[in-house]
Structure 1
Amino acid sequence: MTMLIRSKWNLYSDLQISGSLFFSTRPVIRFSPHIDSLYLRISRSGDPNISMARLLDHWVEEGRPVKRSELHKIIKQLRKYRRFSHALQVSEWMSNEMNNQLPTADIAIQLDLKSKVQGLDEAERYFSSIPETSKVSKVYCALLNCYAEHGYVEKAEAIMQKLQQCSSISVLTYNVMLSLYRRLGKYEELETLMEEMKEKHICDRYTYCIRLNAYAKTLDIEGMEKFLLQMEADVAAVDWHTYALAANAYIKAGLSEKALQMLKRSEHLINGSSRTKRIAYEALLNMYASIGNKPEVYRVWSMCKNLERSRNSVYVSMIGSLLKLDDIDGAERILDEWESDNTCSDIRIPNLLISAYCKKGFLDKAEAFLSRYLNLGMKPEGITWALFANGYKEQNDMEKTVEMVKKAIMADRQVSRLNPSTLSACIKHLKGKGDSEYAIELINLCRQRGIISVGTYDRLFNYIQNENPDTSMEQHFLLDRKYQLPDGEKEDSY
């Protein structure tokens, strides 16, 4: 199961670890009926169609106070768990209703959110509207990150040059640019900028990890090993992430023994809070599974599951690791542990088994499995139905595939990216049986739910209407930027 480590600038995205989402899986929490707060109301409102402005207005109409500090905490949590649209609504409500100019830190955050939710053009328009007195380095840094996220190198470099003229430019700003160069494979530019940082003596642990990650990404094992020696000479630059990154490179290069050595070194450096340990152990579970070492997976699990305030994410990591080892029986046993121990329903965990059953063609077992959770009151998300759609498509049961795809599109928590081969197979099937009306209804739904772009909709509409199309269906989707997965999602902080 693909995971992501959430660092300040996602410098460790190649480790493929993920933390639990902020109610994005629509969990059922056992709250006391007497507890109520603005934070709880917002956190429970996971449906993206719910307006945060209305919720805040209603709170005020009840005569309840709203503190800026509380809104800051709420925005931080919403951003952390990727509810960017809701975070932007809260930020805009704060600026519209609290009748004073936002501090520069809030401006930087709103700029970042506009870029994520509304696109770069809207972020640039917002930046242009900001008073000149508020365009400080922090705000320019936020704009730089917007350009970096969207891959606009020239615009990012122009902002970087402006910031380099400021004596207050931070190492974080440099690291954003380094990360962009790494992501786009511009290693010569990366090296030049890092040399500048060395001359200024401002390299930090993230700087070194970006460079190490660049070696790992290109599988330059010799270069990575030399650079790792340099990092080890600077003890402050080495932590558990360092060796985990190296282990990940060895795994990709097929060097399992060297990967095992790095994982052992990484494990010896794990310390700190329960949360820090949990994230580290989740990474190790995934990588031990990648080299096929089941005993080490279970050994790490024995430490991981007993951490204070352990979360659903550890079960996601463990079950995902066992499924990677094709140990479905073991995964089912861990799921039984979760069922007996959990305090928060989380559809991601059943989804893991549903995915495994569907891939193996055990559709009846997957259906029975889901029915059990439906009876317990757990609500499937779009991804759940998408898993079934993929499974039925592999079994060539196109009627059920179309049914599941429609359910995936219509789910409250919609899927932003359906498998293009499954979606194209549905449209081909409907067109082939002469049901162009249903095919058009399906792509209309996709467009309304933001799953495909206007351009892709137009191409698909023409495909459905054309009696002799000569373009591969999947190409219509693969040309759509919505179907091009980014190198790594960003979780930024100012």
Structure 2
Amino acid sequence: MMLIRSRCKLLKFFGISVSGSLGMCMYTTESVLASLENRVMKVGDPVSPVSSILNQWVEEGREVTYFQLHGLVHRLSQSRRFSHALEVMEWMSNERNYDLSPGGIAKQINLISKVQGLEQAERYFRSIPDAKIGFKIYAALLRCYVKHKSLEEAEVVMKKIKKFHPLDITECYNLMLKLYAQMGKYDKLDRLMLEMKEKDICNARTYAIRLNAYVAATDIEGMEKFLMQMEADPLATVDWYTYCNAANAYRKVHNIEKVTAMLKKSEHLATGKTRRLAYESIQTMYAVIGNKDEVYRLWNICTSLKSFCNSSYISMLNSLVKLDDIDGAEKIFEEWESKYANFDYRIPNLMICAYCKRGQFDKAEAFIKRLLDGGKPLDGRAWDKMACGYHADNDMVKAVEAMKKAVSRNLAGRKPDPITLIACVKYLKEKGDLDLALEILTLCIEKRHISVTSYDGLVSYVHNKTPDTEPLDLIKGDYQMYENGSTQLLNREN
């Protein structure tokens, strides 16, 4: 009897429904976590809150543990639903008063950076008690700085990290290597790699990052020599990704013959669980060099894989858009629409973007209307793409309307296009519609699309308090701009 009761308690701890009397312990096969996950994962709209689902769960008298909520955060993060993952983390602290572990705090820093931006992540970091800050939290902050290409701040944090000696410090070194490569600091990259060799902490990823640096610099000779070293070094894993990167280097110098040779090698090394991701990457590269036959061949292989999922459709649609095969893209979208298990906003967004780039606004508008009529509310990114399209077409009335919808919604960790946002504000100021300009800026600050500094500067600009100021300069701090002065926004996530 004591054994049965102990087992009941253990099952309850892990969230499994238990019932019975006189010590007869009976439990359902579905755990609390699975049931709660089902409810949360069904919320496909990134704007819709999931905290209400968590609250309802508790109001129903059901229990959920710290570990189960962390599992839910992990599942949401894997599905790239970062806003919902962050919402669950905040609910754990605010509603359940859970004291997050250093690992939990590190995860929250990462999510805040993705959803709300670097400034908010730094603010959260400063609120953490000094006694709790250790390697995991510093490593999370380092990832944020690397992601946002904040070189000086990353170097400061890395100095603190070097005082620790955990087994996974190699990953932090690799993050710095990646940052140096992205910033073109090849002298610093080589010095850091030499330091890693002296400490004997290089791994396969270290070599991959160095190879990427040669590719980024379009140093074909250096890349070829290093690739030969990798092929001879047992520490350097040469896999499908290695040759896919080499193919990218040859693509940059328009050596299509060598691109194709590298892609064939890459495909040959794609095995097991990596096949789907490998085929999607290789497929995209074939699209870049204009080889439609190979794109469709790999698509047919992907459709036969057990791991075939939404990402395969995203890859195929991206490839067809690159090939300007809009008819083919429409057919693939229709196939996905008839089969999808989980609605993924990225897929219709790709179609909207494709229509806008081609100036087919009638098609884009009809496409959006059909989605909305079918009960599929759009996220902010779709409206942001529409705003950019209208702006490029010099239809500022519709651009303003779409931008207002964009900034009032969730942008899934991204910010509104800076050029279009500023164009809308500028247009409204010149038109004399200051109220609408300020309304859009207020939505931006409320949804944390821009920083307080940018907001204050733009409000002053709208009120003509800074007449000689270029408004785009006021928000550059919130964006990663190209060093040549171009105002195109760099890719951030995903």
Pair in the same fold by TM > 0.5: yes
Please tell me whether residue 189 in structure 1 is matched to residue 196 in structure 2: no
User: Cα–Cα, structure 1 residues 174 and 476, in superposed 2: closer, same or farther, change >3 Å?
Assistant: closer
Moved more, 352-361 or 89-98: 89-98
Cα displacement (A) at 1:329: 1.7
Find the aligned partners of 1:463 and 1:62 in 2 and give their Cα distance.
51
Secondary structure, counterpart of 2:162 in structure 1: helix
1:244 alignment counterpart: 244
Q: Among the aligned pairs, what percent are the same residue?
A: 48
RMSD (Å), alpha carbons: 3.2
Out of 176-185 and 285-294, give the one that drifted further: 176-185
Aligned to 1:327, which of 308, 325, 328? 325
CA shift, 1:55, in A, is 4.5
Q: 1:426 to 1:196 in 2, by over 3 A?
A: closer
Q: Secondary structure at the match of 2:128?
A: helix
1:218 maps to amino acid? A
Using the TM superposition, give the Cα deviation of residue 301 of structure 1 relative to its aligned residue in structure 2, in angstroms: 0.8
Q: Residues 154 and 349 of structure 1: is their aligned pair in 2 closer, same or farther, counting only changes over 3 Å?
A: closer
User: Which residue in 2 is equivalent to 1:350?
Assistant: 348
In the superposition, the TM-score normalised over structure 2's length comes to: 0.81
Q: How many residues align?
A: 450
CA distance in 2, matches of 1:490, 1:335: 23
Taking a change above 3 Å as real, the CA distance of residues 259 and 363 of structure 1, as seen in their structure-2 partners, is same
Do 1:358 and 1:387's aligned partners in 2 also have CA atoms closer than 8 Å? yes
Q: Larger radius of gyration, structure 1 or 2?
A: 2
- Is the contact made by 2:83 and 2:413 (CA closer than 8 Å) also made in structure 1? no
Please give the alpha-carbon distance, in whole angstroms, between the structure 2 residues aligned to 1:167 and 1:383.
40
Residues in 2 aligned to 1:406 and 1:219: alpha-carbon distance in whole angstroms: 41
Could you list the per-position Cα deviations for residues 52-97 of structure 1 after superposition, in whole angstroms to 9, with x for gaps in the alignment?
6664444233222223332232122233344445434544555677
Are the equivalent residues in 2 in contact too, given 1:392–1:400 (CA < 8 A)? Answer: yes
- Deviation of 1:296 (Å): 0.9
1:223 & 1:257 partners in 2: Cα distance? 19
In 2, the alpha carbon distance for the partners of 1:445 and 1:95 equals 26
For structure 2, the residue ranges without an aligned partner over 5 or more in a row are 1-32, 482-487
Q: Does 1:272 align with 2:272?
A: yes
Residue segments in structure 1 that go unaligned for 5+ positions in a row: 1-34
C-alpha distance in structure 2 between counterparts of 1:346 and 1:167, whole Å: 38
Q: For the structure 1 residues 310 and 421, does the alpha-carbon distance in structure 2 shift closer, same or farther, using more than 3 Å as the test?
A: same
3-state secondary structure, aligned to 1:306: coil
Distance across 1 between alignment mates of 2:203 and 2:267: 22
Give the match for residue 458 of structure 1: 456
Matches within 5 A, 1:442-481: 442-466=440-464, 469-477=467-475, 479-481=476-478
Asked if the contact 1:144–1:159 (Cα under 8 Å) also holds between the matched residues in 2, the reply is: no
Q: Pick closer, same or farther for the CA change 1:104–1:403 going to 2, 3 Å.
A: closer
The CA deviation at 1:387 is 2.1
Please give the secondary structure, in 1, of the residue aligned with 2:218: coil
Task: For residues 331-370 of structure 1, give each alpha carbon's deviation from its aligned partner in whole angstroms, at most 9, with x where no partner exists.
Answer: 1222232233333333332322222222222211222222
**1:199/1:87 Cα in 2 relative to 1: closer, same or farther (>3 Å)?**
same
Instruction: Give the CA deviation at 1:460.
Output: 2.0
What is the CA deviation profile of residues 407-463 of structure 1, one whole-angstrom value per residue up to 9, with x for unaligned ones? 212235578422223222222322222222222222222222222222222222222
Matched residue type, 1:421: I
Map 1:200-349 → 2, pairs under 5 A: 200-234=199-233, 237-273=237-273, 276-349=274-347
**1:180-214 deviation digits (Å, cap 9, x = unpaired):** 33233332222222223323433221111111111
> Structure 2: how far apart are the matches of 1:332 and 1:204?
43
- Alignment partner, residue 364 of structure 2: 366
Contact 2:320–2:328, Cα closer than 8 Å, also in 1: yes
- Higher mean displacement: 462-471 or 356-365: 462-471
Structure 1 residues 416 and 142, CA, compared in 2 at 3 Å: closer, same or farther?
A: closer
Q: Which moved more, 1:241-250 or 1:63-72?
A: 63-72
Q: Is the 8 A contact 2:434 2:462 kept in 1?
A: yes
Shift of 1:115: 5.6
Structure 1 residues 353 and 267: alpha-carbon distance in aligned structure 2, compared to 1, 3 A threshold: same
In structure 1, the partner of 2:403 is 405
- Does structure 2 conserve the Cα–Cα contact (< 8 Å) formed by 1:112 and 1:123? no
CA displacement at 1:291 relative to structure 2? 0.9
CA distance in 1, matches of 2:142, 2:352: 41
CA distance in 2, matches of 1:396, 1:95: 47
Cα distance in 2 for partners of 1:162, 1:464 equals 48
Residue 421 of structure 1 is aligned with which of 391, 395, 419? 419
- Distance of aligned partners of 1:213 and 1:331 in 2 relative to their CA distance in 1, 3 Å threshold: same
Task: Tell me by how many angstroms 1:168 deviates.
Answer: 4.5
Please give the secondary structure, in 2, of the residue aligned with 1:237.
coil
